Amino acid sequence: MRIDITMFDGVDELDVIGPHEVFRSAANLGGRIDARLVSRVPTSEIRAAYGLRFRPDGVFEPGEADVLIVPEGDGRRETK
């Protein structure tokens, strides 16, 4: 099973790292899972909400993944 986790500038780090860790752990235990970090457009680096930088495994291609995970942004709100 191929699982793509999409990333974009400003994505919440935990929304990417959490699912990635779970699926990669399942694969290490014998699950037939290929979890990938993908960007929406070609890019060499994604900068997350709190500065962590990711290097995508590839670019999202519609119809290629069995499961698509779309994380949220950083969740911070401006207060005035």
Residue pLDDT, tens place only, 5-47 = 999 999 999 999 999 999 999 999 999 999 999 999 999 999 9
Q: Is residue 57 part of a domain?
A: yes
Give the pLDDT band of residue 74 (cuts 50, 70, 90): low
First to last CA, the chain: 46
Q: Is residue 79 part of a domain?
A: no
Q: What is the pTM of this model?
A: 0.85
Section 43-72 average pLDDT: 94
| Residue 8 belongs to domain with CATH number | 3.40.50.880
Q: Is residue 41 part of a domain?
A: yes
Q: Is residue 75 part of a domain?
A: no
CA dihedral over 18, 21, 23, 25, signed as positive or negative: negative
Kindly provide the residue ranges of all beta strands, DSSP E only, lying in the chain, ordered along the sequence.
2-7, 34-39, 46-47, 53-54, 58-59, 67-69
Q: How many residues does the chain have?
A: 80
Q: Is residue 44 part of a domain?
A: yes
Give the chain's domain count.
Answer: 1
Q: Is residue 45 part of a domain?
A: yes
Q: Which domain holds residue 11?
A: 2-69
